Structure formats: structure tokens, C-alpha cells
């Protein structure tokens, strides 16, 4: 414990090897251990913003609604109609 108001996760990286309790079991360490690429922007209030690839983030949002079969089928119909119309 520290005497000032700071987030526990700022000290977790230094303590994780010595006293790894369940409270410090965060997915952030697992993600960094896998060398994953950050594609989500950090909050605007963060002091040191995390760099991310805007193109991958945009593509992530573009493919988000194709998870349902009806949405995918509708997109396929639109693509087929555009292909027929343009040719």
C-alpha cells in the first residue's frame, strides 16, 4: 500500500514477481506477454496516451456488424446488386 492516491496497477508491474496475489491477475499483463498490438485508443484523460493503429481500429469497427447471418447476407445481396449494376 502506498500513502498517496495512485492506481494499484502502476505498482503491479514491480510487485507481480514478488507477491502475485489474485488482485493483480489482470489481462493487461497477458496481452503484453503475447506481444499483442493495441487497436483501441486510450481515454482522453490518460497522461501518456497509448499509441494505436487508426486504420486497424477503423477496420475493426467496419466488420463489427457482420456477426449476424442476416447482416452478412444483406451485405452479400448489396454487393451482388452493385456488381450487377456496375457491369
65 in any annotated domain: yes
Residue ranges making up the domain that contains 28? 9-86
53 in any annotated domain: yes
2 in any annotated domain: no
Question: Is there a contact between 19 and 6 (Cβ–Cβ < 8 Å)?
Answer: no
32 in any annotated domain: yes
Residue, of 22 and 85, whose pLDDT is higher: 85
Q: Give the model's pLDDT for residue 40.
A: 75
How many CB atoms sit inside 10 A of residue 3's CB?
5
1 in any annotated domain: no
16 in any annotated domain: yes
4 in any annotated domain: no
Q: Which residues contact 8 (CB under 8 A, 6 or more apart)?
A: 23, 24
- What pTM, to 2 d.p., does this model score? 0.32
pLDDT reading at 82 higher than 90 = yes
Residue, of 26 and 36, whose pLDDT is higher: 36
The tally of domains found in the chain comes to 1
Eight-class DSSP state of 48: S
Highest-pLDDT range among 29-38, 51-60, 72-81: 72-81
pLDDT reading at 29 higher than 90 = no
Amino acid at each position: 500500500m502506498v500513502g498517496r492516491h495512485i492506481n494499484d496497477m502502476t505498482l503491479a508491474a514491480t510487485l507481480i514477481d514478488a507477491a502475485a496475489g489474485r488482485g493483480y491477475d489482470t489481462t493487461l499483463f497477458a496481452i503484453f506477454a503475447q506481444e499483442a498490438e493495441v487497436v483501441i485508443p486510450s481515454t482522453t484523460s490518460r497522461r501518456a496516451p497509448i499509441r494505436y493503429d487508426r486504420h486497424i481500429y477503423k477496420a475493426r469497427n467496419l466488420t463489427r456488424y457482420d456477426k449476424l447471418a442476416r447482416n452478412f447476407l444483406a451485405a452479400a445481396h448489396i454487393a451482388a446488386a452493385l456488381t450487377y449494376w456496375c457491369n
